[in-house]
Amino acid sequence: MFDGISIQLLMGQLLIGLINGSFYAMLSMGLAIIFGLMHVVNFAHGAQYMLGAFIAWLLLNTLGINYWGALFIAPVVVAIFGMVMERLVLKPIHHLDHLYGLLATYAVTLIVEGLIRQQYGSSGLPYSSPIPGGVNLGFMFLPWYRLWVVLFSFAMCLGTWYLIEHTKLGSYLRAANENPEIVESFGINVPRMITLTYAFGVGLAGLSGVLAAPIYQVSPSMGSSLMIVIFAVVVIGGMGSIMGAILTGYLLGVVEGLTKVFYPEGANLVIFVIMILALILRPQGLFSKKEGA
Amino acid sequence: MSSETAKAPLLQVENLNAWYAESQALHGMNFEVPEGELVTLIGRNGAGKSTTLRSIMGIVRKRKGSIRFRGAELIGRQTYEIARQGIAYCPEERAIFASLSVRENLGLPPVLSAGGSSDEELLEQFPNLRARQNSMGTMLSGGEQQMLAIARILRTGSRFLLLDEPSEGLAPVVVKEIGQQILRLKQRGYTILLVEQNLKFAQMVADRHVVVEHGQVVDVLAADQLQANMARVKTYLGV
């Protein structure tokens, strides 16, 4: 196809790009939902993603609950953790500058990661694939589990987008993003909506963690290493833009994968180069409807 | 002793003080709104009229004194709890949601009690909105936005409306239409507390005028007393 580049390598990296993009999309979507309503840059998102993976590992190794059970239980547990965190940490500082929210969630990240590291070490724990095997497409081998992750996360993103953009519940959320005081003056319990929205965003991070457990090592730092990229995705897509976060997540995953094929040295940098260009040329984000930054 | 028992007012505001951060905006407001009446708060810019409405709704949270609605104290309650008592608020800036269509804007407030208008009733009452249902909220003209802002709060079933300057920035013909809509609401038994700077508009619709200056009530005039006291009122308003 291209000089020195086999179709196997290209398709393989495209698949890895899609898988990474799936995680980027789900995580940045949760982050965008939280930022949209609360204007909190949730730095704990990576730790909450890691918690999802760890809870899945714990459920399997202590209670014998398999992946499919964990896929439901772990996000709920992480969401409950999010609710408690919102009430105890974020609500008291809601009226302060947004920087305090970022610092507080960063502190939670350090505490959660530290506790997990102390208990389970930092080397990473294995989690076997719940759908072993795959299909040989001729030009590449496609593992079933990876196909499941791409399809499931795509369905989750689409479902969440539909919920927010096309349902009554979503219209409350979009309205509260614009003017929470007026939405509350209609008799809607906005403080509870904020708690539940945070829990939902955090639950999405937990769900991503469960999906990630069989692909990556379950380790305390698995979220932190991803978070920098996720923030770049959200900035490029447009802070608070749900569809922007989803599309940018997939797009950047694929761009990163293709860069590994054509210019491997630049693979770790390409997302940040795009972020800088986006900030210069369209600071409000590629998919934001707002004019200017 | 009189055989007549005085009817308790729907809303009683006593010694209401309110602050934006450290800056005090209301300095002991006292007034009442009897059930079924349309009362205006009139006064010049910055007198504290809008702050009074925002304080009643709990949007201005730092407040002291007493606000009783149907005898129940509102101070200390959250905004959504106050709305659920049966009070609806239409803000000065109209607060039409840009990310929502007209239909979504209209359908946003939940039905809190029986007697709220259905979507179809609202579209009949505000026919201009029917043709614009699928437009985004902010694509409407100022007058249409004001109609939408008033229409959507009628969904909730609340019988006490707080309307903040519905005539502001609108063409005279639209102001007249808004005035007629408000009069119709009054005829349907709604109690209305209206903030207004447009004296002519206030005169057209009100039963009673509460004059506000420097965060205090300085005069209360029945509608039929306004003309006789016009010179004094104009001094208050600075016109």
Instruction: Answer yes or no: is B106 within a domain.
Output: yes
| A178, A181, A191: residue with CB nearest B99 | A178
CA dist A209 and A146 (Å) reads 14
Q: Report the percent of chain B where pLDDT is more than 70.
A: 96
For A87-144, how does the pLDDT look when each residue is reduced to its tens digit (9 = 90+)?
999 999 988 888 999 999 999 999 999 999 999 998 889 999 999 999 988 888 899 9
Q: Which is higher by pLDDT, A76 or B201?
A: A76
Strand runs (DSSP E) across B79-207, as ranges?
Answer: 87-90, 160-164, 191-196
Angstrom distance (rounded) from CA A197 to CA A178: 15
pLDDT given at position A3: 65
Please, are residues A267 and A34 in contact by the beta-carbon 8 Å criterion? no
Distance from CA of A94 to the nearest CA of B (A): 14
pLDDT value, residue A225: 82
In a domain, B142, yes or no: yes
Does residue A167 sit at the B interface (CB-CB below 8 Å)?
no
**Residue B38, in any domain of the structure:** yes
Please say if the pLDDT value at position B6 is more than 70.
no
Q: What is the pLDDT of residue A241?
A: 82
Select from A168, A185, A289 the Cβ nearest to the Cβ of B79. Answer: A185
- Is the residue at B131 inside a domain? yes
| Segment B97-154, tens digit of pLDDT | 988 999 999 999 999 988 888 889 999 988 889 989 999 988 899 999 999 999 999 9
pLDDT tier, B7 (very low <50, low <70, confident <90, very high otherwise)? low
| B225 assigned to some structural domain | yes
**B228: its two tokens:** 């006789």
Q: Residue B23: inside a domain, yes or no?
A: no
Task: Report CB contact under 8 Å: B109, A187.
Answer: yes
Q: Find, in chain A, the residue whose alpha carbon is nearest to that of B60.
A: A181
Radius of gyration of chain B from Cα atoms? Answer: 18
Distance from CA of A204 to the nearest CA of B (A): 24
Structural tokens at position A34: 């939280």
Give pLDDT, residue A290.
62
What are the residues whose beta carbons fall under 8 Å from the beta carbon of B44, sequence distance 6 or more? B197, B213, B236, B237, B238
Q: pLDDT tens-digit profile of A247-267?
A: 999 999 999 999 998 998 998
Two tokens, residue A171 = 């219209």
What's the pLDDT band for B232 if we cut at 50, 70, 90? Answer: confident
CB contact under 8 A, B99 and A189: no
What are the tokens at B185? 């609401």
pLDDT at residue A292 is higher than 80: no
A91 in reach of chain B (CB within 8 A):
no
Percent share of chain B, pLDDT over 90:
69
* ipTM, interface predicted TM-score of the complex: 0.92
Does A172 contact chain B (CB < 8 Å)?
Answer: yes
pLDDT of residue A291: 52
Query: What distance in Å separates residue A195's CA from the closest CA in chain B?
Result: 15
Distance CA A209, CA A75 (A): 9
* Secondary-structure class of domain A7-281 per CATH: mainly alpha
Q: Is residue B73 domain-resident? A: no
**Pairing state between β B23-33 and B11-20:** antiparallel
What rounded mean pLDDT belongs to chain A?
92
Which residues in chain B are contacts of A178 at CB distance < 8 A?
97-99
| Distance separating alpha carbons of residues A7 and A136, to the nearest angstrom | 14
CA distances from A225 to A47, A111, A207, A214, B139 (A): 10, 16, 17, 17, 43
Which residues touch A293 (CB under 8 Å, ≥6 apart)? A283, A284
Rounded average pLDDT over A266-274? 91
Domain that holds residue B100: 33-56+85-237
pLDDT of B99: 86
Q: Please count the structural domains in chain B.
A: 1
Which DSSP string corresponds to B17-48?
EEEETTEEEEEEEEEEE-TT-EEEEE-STTSS
pTM attached to this predicted model: 0.88
At residue B3 the predicted structure's pLDDT band, cuts being 50, 70 and 90, is: very low
Mean pLDDT over each residue of chain B, to the nearest integer: 91
pLDDT of B239 higher than 70: no
Q: Where are the domains of chain A?
A: 7-281
**In chain A, which among 262-291 make CB contacts under 8 A with chain B?**
289
The 10s digit of each residue's pLDDT in A135-191 is: 988 888 899 999 999 999 999 999 999 999 999 999 999 999 999 999 999 999 999
**pLDDT for res B2:** 40
Structural domain contains residue B6 = no
Calculate mean pLDDT across residues B8-13: 91
Please say if the pLDDT value at position B1 is more than 60.
Answer: no
